[in-house]
Amino acid sequence: MVVFEKAPAKINLSLDVLNKRADGYHDVNMVMTTIDLADRVSLYPLHRDDITVVADNQYVPNDERNLAYKAAALFKRTFHITKGIHIELEKHIPVSAGLGGGSSDAAAVLRGLKRLWQLDHVSNATLAEMGAQIGSDVPFCVYGKTALATGRGEHIAHLPAPPSCWVVLARPDIGVSTRTIFPKLTLNDVPSTYTEGVVTALETHDFYAMCDHMGNDLESVTLTLYPEAQRIKEKMQQYDIPGVMMSGSGPTIFGLVEHYSKAKRAYNGLRGFCHDVRLVRVMG
């Protein structure tokens, strides 16, 4: 049997950084939601006890550094499985873009191996706990949809989906690693409260209130380091888009738009300005 899993990208609707912890991580409050841009993960049983991984993207490692490999190794260890697995990743989510591609691939491997090896008693909560050992965004990706993530991102509380809307994504041609952004952040004396406002807006299903409250503490670092990302943000704001923000540690900038015609106008305008522009939908 071969198992296929979709691994959707996420965007952040908020990202508040609260404090630095003794273990070096930061506590965050953030709202994330999935969009209809996804990698495709295929899992093929192997006759020998081994893990192999191939991705069709030069920036993704084909060895034990791949988060999909790490997920398979952890799954086999946790459930004492001595069967082998070959993982193929068809990458559609840009790499090091703030869209959670690696984390989503890892989560898809956890879900897919549960199906392939028929471990029906294993809950999503268990998969999410395992995911936290691989990366802070993996627990969210196990569930997908829309959620509030706290702690270093691993504690998940489900939220209502955002009102239906379009997402204009524009990515400058640079990769940003989250690990390089956090240390450069100067923490505010009073922590931001973007998340609180976004959660209330989701609960009241208010698109414009959601856009008004969106915010990301990491923008101050990434947009200063990479002025091309700042320019894309400013360009997108010229299209009168209600919610424009950077996702995760960037550099992808996104805008939320209710109506297709307006989204398409922004998409067309940005294409002359930035070579990777996409128009997708919120799935959350």
137 is catalytic: yes
In the set 10, 70, 233, 235, the catalytic residue is: 10
- Name the minimum Å distance from CB 269 to ligand ATP: 25
Contact of 172 with 94, CB cutoff 8 Å: no
Backbone angles phi, psi at 151, to 5 degrees: 70, -135
- Name the minimum Å distance from CB 198 to ligand ATP: 20
- Name the minimum Å distance from CB 178 to ligand ATP: 3
| Identity of the residue, 101 or 255, whose beta carbon is nearer to ligand ATP in the bound complex | 101
- Name the minimum Å distance from CB 94 to ligand ATP: 7
Rounded to the nearest 5 percent, the helix, strand and coil shares of the chain are: 35, 30, 35
Give CA–CA dist 262/164, Å, rounded. Answer: 14
| Identity of the residue, 139 or 197, whose beta carbon is nearer to ligand ATP in the bound complex | 139
Give CA–CA dist 111/54, Å, rounded. Answer: 18
Residue facing ligand ATP at closest CB distance? 102
| Identity of the residue, 97 or 110, whose beta carbon is nearer to ligand ATP in the bound complex | 97
83 is catalytic: no
Contact of 7 with 25, CB cutoff 8 Å: no
Give CA–CA dist 141/143, Å, rounded. Answer: 5
| Identity of the residue, 65 or 77, whose beta carbon is nearer to ligand ATP in the bound complex | 65
* Interface residue list for ligand ATP (CB under 6 A): 59-61, 65-68, 89, 95-103, 105, 177-178, 248-249
| DSSP bridge partners of 256 | 167, 243
Task: Please list the active-site residues.
Answer: 10, 137
